[in-house]
Amino acid sequence: MNKKGQIINMLSGISIAVLTIAIVLVVGFLIMAQGKDIAIDNIALVSVINESVVYTENTFVALTGSNGIELSCSAVWNGTGGDATAYYAIAANNWTCSTAGLNLTGSSFNDTVQVHYTYKLPSYAYNSTSKLQNATSDIPGWLPIIIITMIGAGLIGLVSIFKQEK
């Protein structure tokens, strides 16, 4: 075989190996992501109605469900004078709700507000898939190192081929 044929043969082997590694990684990560989505879908939704929280303007206040996942507020109510019948809904553009808690903007509210929200508590399946994803999240960062190593091995092989032909 001539030199060009050997070089092409070696480079095709390296490229096939790199492509195989990339495909295996992509498929593996897609399977893990799908497993996590399925775990989330199978978790029961917990509804909380009228949780009282004392807020400070522009500061997230933790809700009971803040340790959960997929927390979503449906309504925030403000009372006047401690009369439960005098509560009124706070417009959605005046509050933000997430697993970080509740954040109200504006100072025209009383210190205590009522929150209606839903959330899901992490299950064993969710926790295990999350830990697996976190543990393997640094693997894609190793792919360039693997490619460089393979290219280096190919170059060393080329040098040895040219050395033997002299």
Same domain, 88 and 65: yes
Residues 146 and 98 in one domain: no
Say whether both 131 and 105 belong to one domain. no
What would the pLDDT profile of 68-79 be if each residue is shown by its tens digit? 888 889 888 886
> What would the pLDDT profile of 99-127 be if each residue is shown by its tens digit?
888 888 866 666 788 889 988 888 777 77
Q: How far apart are the first and last CA of the chain?
A: 15
Do residues 109 and 81 share a domain?
Answer: yes
Coil/strand/helix, residue 153: helix
Q: In the predicted model, what is the mean pLDDT of residues 7-15?
A: 68
In this structure, the answer to whether residues 36 and 80 fall within a common structural domain is no
Q: What is the mean pLDDT of the chain?
A: 77
- The predicted model gives 37-51 an average pLDDT of 80
Domain count of the fold of the chain:
2
| Each residue's pLDDT tens digit, 120-162 | 888 777 777 777 777 777 777 777 887 788 777 777 777 776 6
* 144 and 77 within one domain: no
Q: Which residues touch 23 (CB under 8 Å, ≥6 apart)?
A: none
8 A C-beta contact, residue 82 and residue 149:
no
Are 100 and 147 contained in the same domain? no
User: Do both 78 and 145 map to the same domain?
Assistant: no
Four-residue CA torsion sign, 128, 20, 140, 143: positive
Range of the domain at 136: 3-40+125-165
| Model confidence, pTM | 0.57
Residue 142 DSSP label: H
pLDDT on residue 83: 54
99 and 148 share one domain: no
Q: Please check whether residue 140 is in contact with residue 25, taking contact to mean a CB–CB distance below 8 angstroms.
A: yes
Residues 75 and 116 in one domain: yes
pLDDT of 110: 65
Dig out the tokens for 131 from the structure: 């830990």
Does 141 share its domain with 88? no
Higher pLDDT, 71 or 67: 71
Distances (CA, A) of 131 to 83, 119, 121: 47, 20, 16
Indicate if the pLDDT at residue 7 is higher than 70.
no
